[in-house]
Amino acid sequence: MSSDQNPQGPPGAQAPGTTATGSIRRPKKTGLATGPAVPGVAKTDPIMVIDSVSRRFGGLTAVDVDHLEIPRHAITALIGPNGAGKTTLFNLLCGFDKPNSGTWSYDGKDIAGIPAFKVARMGQVRTFQLTKALSLLTVLENMKLGAPRQKGERFWSAFIPSIWRGQETANEEKARGLLQRFRLDAKEKDFAASLSGGQRKLLEMARALMSDPQLVLLDEPMAGVNPALTQSLLDHILDLKDLGVTVLFVEHDMHMVRHIADWVVVMAEGRVVAEGPPDTVMQDRAVIDAYLGSHQDVDLGVVTGRVPGELGESAKELLQEIEVAEAASIAEAEEEK
């Protein structure tokens, strides 16, 4: 990793404190945008710039993003209701899928249409909504698959062990170091199939770090993770930022988003409907409306009490979600005081 990858906390950051879970609150990065937080706002130092990207599946437009910039050395959350197009956008940005139109650049280089393995070589890795650990390989073998440009993979070199043995040892050492950091070292010889859902998520993240990435894309890192592992996963993501890695993650858990994201991008029906710092964006009307996507039978007027009417099951659920988000926001604001 380069020497600029150890920022000692950006200027204008909040003072560190302690969270409800007992961990140290780390400073949020501020001053990321060059203007008011509206969809498409330019960033002071973008690592990724996306323009007019669309992806259609038959008659359905899954992604239709006009302009979006991802800030460097920060944690950006991509949120939105089910089917908003978050995973599809991830797939495009990583080269796992091809758009119908659009361009995007990574670190100033145009990478639209470049396949996933080349994008990964440029320092961008991703994890999946459903973990992709290879069940019949051991934990250590899974880790080694994450190492970049392995010499033994070339056809002729595979027959000459002296070419790849040194690299193999270095990769193994690095893998063990990461497994220790993620507290999976005791499982190194176990098959990935024997890990719990949360441990697989940790393994996937550890494996992503084998290539010293500059940008990590995490698709729902918290889904299916046992609450006992949640805090450690959050800390690992915050550690990445401290190491100078840029993180873009998709998540439905709003508490987590509020806790670790420096910037939040909200998608609905394929478009970016809002973006900004977590506290402001979550109060945004467009964001609350976007979440109605998963509660389409709900009349927002009834939920907010403006229109008289019966609250159905879905409306009650939505109201509860809003109340929980509000309570968390108030509690956190008080904690900060």
Ligand X SMILES: Nc1ncnc2c1ncn2[C@@H]1O[C@H](COP(=O)(O)OP(=O)(O)OP(=O)(O)O)[C@@H](O)[C@H]1O
Residues that bind Mg ion (CB under 5 A): 87, 129
User: Is the CB of residue 152 less than 8 Å from the CB of residue 158?
Assistant: yes
Minimum CB–partner distance for residue 289 and ligand X (Å): 16
Q: Does 87 contact ligand X by CB under 6 A?
A: yes
Out of 76, 88, 124, 171, point to the residue binding ligand X (CB under 6 A).
88
With CB under 6 A, what is the number of residues at the site for ligand X?
12
CB under 6 A: which stretch of 54-62, 275-283, 302-310, 313-321 binds ligand X? 54-62
Cα dihedral: 20, 21, 24, 29 (round 10):
-70
Out of 2, 3, 82, 296, point to the residue binding ligand X (CB under 6 A).
82
Nearer to ligand X, 84 or 140 (CB): 84
Q: Give the number of other Cβ atoms within 10 Å of residue 86's Cβ.
A: 26
Any idea which residue has 């139109």 for tokens?
Answer: 101
Out of 25, 28, 86, 201, point to the residue binding ligand X (CB under 6 A).
86
Which 110-129 positions form the footprint of ligand X (CB under 6 A)? 129
- What's CA 184's distance to the chain center, in Å? 21
Helix (H, G, I), strand (E, B) or coil at 82: coil
Q: Does 246 contact ligand X by CB under 6 A?
A: no
Phi-psi region of 276 (alpha: psi -120 to 50; beta: other; left: phi over 0): left
Distance, CA of 46 to CA of 34 (rounded, Å): 11
Minimum CB–partner distance for residue 87 and Mg ion (Å): 3
Helix (H, G, I), strand (E, B) or coil at 316: helix
Q: Which does 268 bind (CB under 5 to 8 A by kind): Mg ion, ligand X, none?
A: none
Q: Does 62 contact ligand X by CB under 6 A?
A: yes
